[in-house]
Amino acid sequence: MFGKLAEAGFTGVLVGGDPSVTVSDAAHQNGLEFHRWVWTLNRNGDTWVKENHPEWFTVSRNRDSSLTVPPYVGYYRWLCPTKAGVKEYLRDSMSAVAENTTVDGVHLDYVRHCDVILPRGLWSKYDLVQDHELPEFDYCYCETCRQEFGALTGRDPLAMADPSADEEWRRFRWDSVTALVRVLADAVHGAGKPISAAVFPTPTVARRLVRQSWDEWPLDAFFPMLYHEFYEEDLDWIGRGVEEGLAALGGDSKTRSRPKLYGGLYLPTLNREGSQAAAVQVVREAGADGVSFFEMNGLNLVG
């Protein structure tokens, strides 16, 4: 499979789980970079954290822990990026990944808060209308977040009449994720490896939907998830997303001092004749450094 990817012009793979040396060797033997894809703040599969630190999980405005009352789906169990223990634990985890000699880089995913508002194209799937921020999807109101925000502002977010309208409270949560990313970036760079992240499609959308100000992060590359049908948009929207991301990162495609941007395409929505090629062309014409696909099994590698 990796051989067919290389023949098709791919240059790297992002592989999750705990891949064996055989998998990384297969990538390297075919000239592909091998990056470990790591779920960051969504730690549903992290049994050790669940059993030893249930207090690390985020708390909704309804005062429910995402460990015991996960929003939307059962695997949505999120750690709070404000907590010192979470930062230390994830820093050590990412350092261990980066220090693995078979790994060429670390790729973060789910490095954000839970979706306070889903992309519009998913509302019907969950039988929701999210034209405002609902308390059961609004995170994080744990004691650590409330105390640290109170120390900065003298206010308690739970006492606000409308927390969604408060600029300082929004900024606090953007900054809490950004502070964690800076810690992780230092750890991975300290091991001599690059670090990248899958992020929501544009800085504007990311801030509004998932408390993610990714254009402020010190990473080497970004993979914005330009999943156009999730937002009930056409292919041209993908190009506009690339352009916004590049502008926010501070440069055009000829500026190599900025982080790279790889337009992320969702293959299940590009299964019509010619749509994959058309989407790739849109990403290229918008000036992205490359294209990424989710996921490999959606590609036709036969022949």
* Distance of alpha carbon 247 from alpha carbon 244, whole angstroms: 5
Name residue 80's amino acid. C
Please answer whether residues 32 and 9 qualify as being in contact, where contact means their C-beta atoms are separated by less than 8 angstroms: no
Read off the pLDDT band of 256 (50, 70, 90): low
Q: Which residues make Cβ contacts (< 8 Å) with residue 170, sequence separation at least 6?
A: 164, 207, 211
What is the per-residue burial (b if ≥16 Cβ within 10 Å, else e) of 107-121?
Answer: bbbbbbbbbbbbbee
| pLDDT score at 65 | 98
Average of per-residue pLDDT across 78-92: 98
* Distance of alpha carbon 229 from alpha carbon 210, whole angstroms: 18
CA end-to-end distance (rounded Å), the chain: 11
Domains and CATH numbers, the chain: 2-219 (3.20.20.80)
* Distance of alpha carbon 216 from alpha carbon 69, whole angstroms: 31
Read off the pLDDT band of 254 (50, 70, 90): low
pTM of the model: 0.94
33, with CB counted inside 10 A (0-12, 13-18, 19+), is: middle
* Distance of alpha carbon 79 from alpha carbon 56, whole angstroms: 6
| pLDDT score at 303 | 46
* Distance of alpha carbon 205 from alpha carbon 212, whole angstroms: 9
Average of per-residue pLDDT across 70-86: 98
